Chain A
Amino acid sequence: AQSVSQHNHHVILSEAASLELGCNYSYGGTVNLFWYVQYPGQHLQLLLKYFSGDPLVKGIKGFEAEFIKSKFSFNLRKPSVQWSDTAEYFCAVSPQTGANNLFFGTGTRLTVIP
C-alpha cells in the first residue's frame, strides 16, 4: 500500500535558522513527488515538484528538495527561514501512470520565531 511519512509534526525555529523537513514514501512503482505549503488562512500552494532528471529541485521562496531514490526520501530544505515561512508543509506523491491522485503525508507545522 502507498504511504507517505513526515516524521516531524511540529518544528519550531528562530529566524535565520536552517530547515530540513523529512519525507519518506512507500510505493511499488515510479512516482512524482511534491511539497505543498498551506499558510495560515490560505489554500494549498505548490512549493516544488520532482518528475524526473536532476534529483535536486528548486522551488519558490528559496526552498529546495532532494530526491534520494535508494532511501525513498524527498526532504525539503531551506538555508535560512523567515517568519513568513510559518505554515504547514505537506509532502505528497503520485504514481507516474497518469493516475492523478495524490497521497499526502500528515503534514509538518513550522513555526518561525522572529
Chain B
Amino acid sequence: KAGVTQTPRYLIKTRGQQVTLSCSPISGHRSVSWYQQTPGQGLQFLFEYFSETQRNKGNFPGRFSGRQFSNSRSEMNVSTLELGDSALYLCASSFVLAGGLTYEQYFGPGTRLTVT
C-alpha cells in the first residue's frame, strides 16, 4: 500500500506571498491532519479534515487554512507568509471507524517551506 504523499517536497517563498501544499492520504484513509514542525516549537497540530469538513483545529492564526476533497486528498494554504512560517509541514492520514473514532496516524515526508 502506498504511503502518504506530499507535494511539493521543498518550497521557497517570499514574505507576503501565499502558498498551497498538497497531501494524498493512504488509500482508504478518510482523516487527514496537518502539523507544523520547527526547531523551536516542535510538532504542533494545525487542523484535521474528515469527510471534507474541518473537524479539529489547533491554535494557529486564520492565515492557515485547509480543505479536503471528496477523494480525501487535502490541501493547506498559508496566506501572507511570514518569516516565522518557515517549517516542515507534515500531513498524516488515518483510518476512521464507524462513529468517527480513528486509529493511529501515518505521516508523509513533509514539505519544507522556507520563507525569505
Contact = CB atoms under 8 A, between A and B. Distances in A.
Contact of A102 (B45, B50, B101, B108): B45
A33 to B, nearest CB: 10
Interface string A94-106: 0010111111111
Interface string B40-67: 0011110010100001101000000000
Contact of B43 (A45, A99, A104): A104
Contacts, number: 56
Indicate the member of A34, A49, A92, A101 with the most B CB atoms within 10 Å.
A101
Given A43-B107, A43-B108, A44-B107, A100 B42 contact: no
Given A43-B109, A90-B43, A102 B35 contact: yes
Interface residues of A, number: 22
Given A43-B110, A44-B90, A100 B43 contact: no
Interface of B: 31, 33, 35, 42-45, 48, 50, 55-56, 58, 90, 92, 94, 99-102, 104-110
